């Protein structure tokens, strides 16, 4: 019998027989998802299987509960885990949920098979953690699967006693069109699990994370959110392109990786993204007073305009007025304004309600006649001229990093390796504001050798950047300098580079299966397709070397990376069997169940972006370097967040002084 079609709202779960642009229950736009459902007559035919029990007739004994060696854990479960029970285990990422459940799994195996389903970690990573916990592998099975339909089939056929799902946010139903983590997918997958548990008397633990949306967005949009004093969220940046090679970019849709595409493939596909863009736009429109649509590049690229989704194409979709911003610092500003307007279609020209001239150096009165002529030629008013001002606001892209090389030589000299595929370069921005610190980016081995600190930043392609460091002999020079005692600090991709080797079995970043790292930290890294994107907050726990004294300090930041790292095992020399032991000098910097960072003497690394934005930590780190150099300790009470807010206020003041704000509000419909 054929299935029928129904529509569920992905935001609130509202069910409808037909598609609607706006959910009548929660007001979300473009949120309805098509789902096949069995016809009513089929459902009715199954009603005869329903069993009803009178409360007094329901019996169970202590034998119906699975107990562990952890009395408090069993007490919280009412005396043990009931057969057919579904338990939600929730908490912030890194708090130890997975470790706890792996430990109790070791007890439940006494009752029969235990299945550990992981959508976040590979079997090797789980095995590595299990060995550290001294867990024997008998009767514990690992499944790296995310499709609930495949999980359903396996569990029903094998019938393990206990199943652990880590985590519910990673599961999806392949018969549905939405991605994992959406309310609809979480609901449907949870219902499937409950169905298995009740029907086959199988007990389940479901891991659920409490976190911010844990999605990825561009740094420019994060800065804009900070300036507006609101929390950055992925809907502000529905489509993000992150170059991975000279020809390919990672396409991120609503904060989650979609796939890698070359330019031709993306331009052929991007019209499919209009739904996602409009969903984000409609959400902003409904929940905020002002919505600013930032374009990218030129709106007059006539060869690319057909499927434009960021400039006039977006203005068309949103039925929005347009303000054209022209960069006079590049020269030929009036030609650029006139040429852009003339290359637009008539309907596109009508949308342009004003022009802003940006980054002017000199006497603005010299522009008066030019402004009058361009207004007459285009019939579009110039809303103001913004002067070129030096502000301590993070650069939008790596083209702006050369500014650090212009600073005078400081007593503490930091060399930042300018990786070919550098990312999150703003991680070092906070360091540039300390009075005795100077920063420079280096691209050659000959530029190294006179610094006090080397920093290896993040990378969009760690494998290729490691290859590049080897070919340019920069890697060898870093190792030489590190062995002399100079502090070396790696962040994210830089952390991976500092390890023994980087493995890429799925060929995510390169055709290489693996490549040797610098060998300065006793870790190895395995690339995987799933991307870690989450806010992070923890305290430093395991410290030594250059980070001595930072124990107990709170660290805030975020993670955006592919792959995971783990301590290198070495053979136990006391026996000749295959047992492995962890090296004692490789401890997780923050005490998480997964390796977020480590330190060994003068070399340290972490996955946490923004670590130097934590003033207490950075002050202490710099003082350790000062002590090593024989310099006096400096206790700068510098707050990077306060500094950024002051710079945002300066920018706002400059704009109000030089733009016709009243006219801009009028164009926006605010007055």
| H helix or E strand, kind and range, residue 251 | strand 248-253
Tokens of residue 203, six digits: 């007990």
Distance of CA 109 to the CA centre of its chain: 36
Tell me which residue has tokens 């057909």. 306
Rounded CA-CA distance 12/29 in Å is 12
Cα-trace Rg, the chain: 29
Give the DSSP H/E element, type plus range, for residue 204: strand 203-209
Long-range contacts of 639-648 (CB under 8 A, 24+ apart): 639/615, 640/429, 640/430, 640/433, 640/612, 640/613, 640/615, 641/613, 643/392, 643/433, 644/226, 644/392, 644/393, 644/394, 647/391, 647/392, 647/393, 648/226, 648/227, 648/393
Report which DSSP code applies to 277: H
Q: What angle do CA 630, 451, 640 make, to 5 degrees?
A: 85
How would you classify the pairing of strands 458-459 and 422-423? antiparallel
Between strands 523-539 and 554-567, the pairing is antiparallel
DSSP string, 428-449: GGGGGGSTTEEEEEE-SGGG-S
Q: Which residues contact 31 (CB under 8 A, 6 or more apart)?
A: 9, 10, 11, 23, 279
Q: Are 373 and 346 in contact (CB under 8 A)?
A: no
Measuring CA to CA, how many Å separate 143 from each of 114, 121, 588, 624?
A: 11, 10, 26, 46
- Measured at the CA of 348, the angle between CA 344 and CA 351, to 5 degrees, comes to 135
**CA–CA separation, 174 and 150 (whole Å):** 9
Tell whether the torsion through CA atoms of 303, 306, 309 and 314 is positive or negative: positive
Sign of CA dihedral 563, 567, 573, 578: negative
- Give 640's contacts (C-beta < 8 A, 6+ positions apart): 429, 430, 433, 612, 613, 615
> Coil, strand or helix: which one is 616?
helix
The Cα–Cα gap between 470 and 494 comes to 14
Extended strands (E) in 328-381: 352-360
User: Which phi and psi (to 5°) does residue 314 adopt?
Assistant: -70, -40
Q: Which residue has the tokens 């389903």?
A: 117
Number of H helices, E strands in the chain: 19, 30
Q: Which single residue is written with the structure tokens 């029907």?
A: 199
d(CA 181, CA 189): 10
Q: Which residues of 353-389 are buried (b: 16+ CB within 10 A; e: fewer)?
A: bbbbbbbbeeeeeebeeebeebeeebebbbbbbbeee
- Decide if 492 is catalytic: yes
CA 168 vs. chain centroid, Å, equals 19
Residue in 492, 561, 588, 620 annotated catalytic:
492
Catalytic site residue 271? no
Pair 608, 495: CB distance under 8 Å = no
DSSP string, 538-571: EE--S--GGGTT-TT-EEEEEEEEEEEEEEPEEE
Q: How far apart are CA 313 and CA 378, in angstroms?
A: 21
According to DSSP, the residues that pair with 118 across neighbouring strands are 166
- Residues acting as catalytic residues: 492, 609
């Amino acid at each position: 019998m054929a299935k029928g079609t129904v529509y569920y709202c992905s935001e609130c779960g509202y069910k409808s027989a037909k598609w609607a642009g706006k959910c009548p229950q929660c007001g979300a736009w473009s949120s309805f998802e098509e789902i096949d459902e069995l016809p009513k007559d089929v459902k009715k035919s199954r009603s005869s299987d329903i069993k009803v029990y009178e409360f007094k007739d329901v019996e169970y004994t202590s034998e119906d509960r699975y107990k562990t060696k952890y009395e408090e854990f069993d007490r919280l479960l009412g005396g043990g885990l009931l057969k057919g029970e579904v338990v939600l285990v929730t908490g912030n990422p890194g708090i130890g949920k997975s470790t706890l459940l792996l430990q109790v799994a070791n007890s439940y195996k006494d009752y029969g098979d235990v299945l550990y389903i992981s959508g976040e970690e590979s079997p090797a990573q789980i095995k590595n953690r299990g060995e550290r916990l001294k867990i024997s592998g008998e009767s514990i099975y690992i499944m790296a699967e995310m499709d609930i339909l495949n999980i359903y089939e396996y569990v029903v056929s094998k019938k393990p006693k206990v199943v652990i799902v880590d985590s519910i946010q990673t599961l999806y139903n392949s018969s549905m069109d939405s991605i994992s983590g959406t309310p609809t997918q979480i609901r449907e997958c949870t219902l499937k699990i409950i169905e298995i548990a009740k029907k086959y008397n199988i007990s389940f633990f479901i891991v659920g994370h409490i976190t911010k949306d844990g999605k990825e967005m561009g740094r420019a949009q994060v800065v804009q959110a900070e300036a507006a004093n609101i929390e950055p969220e992925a809907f502000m940046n529905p489509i993000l392109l992150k170059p991975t090679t000279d020809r390919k970019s990672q396409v991120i849709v609503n904060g989650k990786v979609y796939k890698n595409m070359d330019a031709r493939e993306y331009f052929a596909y991007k019209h499919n993204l209009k739904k996602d863009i409009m969903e984000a736009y409609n959400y902003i429109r409904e929940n905020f007073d002002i919505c600013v649509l930032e374009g990218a590049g030129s709106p007059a690229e006539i060869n690319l305009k057909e499927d434009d989704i960021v400039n006039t194409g977006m203005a068309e979709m949103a039925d929005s007025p347009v303000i054209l911003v022209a960069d006079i610092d590049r020269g030929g500003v009036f030609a650029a304004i006139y040429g852009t307007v003339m290359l637009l279609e008539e309907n596109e020209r009508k949308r342009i309600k004003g022009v802003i001239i940006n980054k002017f150096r000199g006497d603005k009165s010299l522009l008066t006649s030019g402004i009058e002529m361009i207004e007459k030629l285009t019939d579009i008013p110039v809303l103001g001229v913004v002067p070129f001002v030096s502000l301590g606001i993070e650069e939008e892209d790596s083209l702006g990093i050369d500014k650090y090389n212009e600073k005078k030589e400081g007593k503490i000299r930091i060399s930042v390796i300018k990786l070919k595929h550098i990312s999150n370069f703003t991680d070092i921005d906070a360091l540039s504001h300390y009075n005795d610190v100077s920063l420079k980016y280096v691209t050659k081995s000959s530029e190294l050798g006179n610094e006090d600190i080397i920093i290896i930043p993040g990378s969009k392609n760690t494998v290729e950047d490691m290859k590049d460091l080897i070919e340019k002999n920069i890697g060898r020079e870093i190792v030489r300098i590190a062995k002399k005692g100079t502090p070396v600090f790696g962040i994210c991709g830089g952390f991976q580079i500092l390890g023994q080797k980087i493995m890429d079995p799925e060929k995510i970043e390169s055709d290489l299966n693996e490549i040797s790292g610098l060998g300065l930290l006793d870790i190895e890294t395995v690339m995987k397709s799933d991307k870690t994107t989450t806010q992070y907050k923890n305290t430093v726990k395991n410290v030594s070397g250059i980070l001595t004294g930072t124990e107990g300090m709170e660290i805030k930041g975020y993670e955006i990376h592919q792959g995971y790292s783990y301590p290198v095992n070495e053979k136990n020399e006391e026996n000749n069997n295959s047992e492995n032991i962890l090296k004692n000098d490789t401890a997780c910097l923050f005490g998480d169940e997964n390796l977020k960072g480590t330190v060994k003497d003068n070399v340290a690394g972490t996955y946490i972006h923004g670590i130097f934005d934590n003033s207490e930590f950075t002050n202490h780190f710099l003082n350790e370097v000062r002590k090593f150099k024989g310099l006096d300790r400096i206790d700068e009470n510098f707050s990077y967040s306060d500094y950024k807010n002051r710079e945002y206020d300066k920018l706002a003041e400059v704009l109000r002084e030089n733009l016709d704000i009243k006219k801009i509000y009028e164009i926006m419909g605010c007055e």
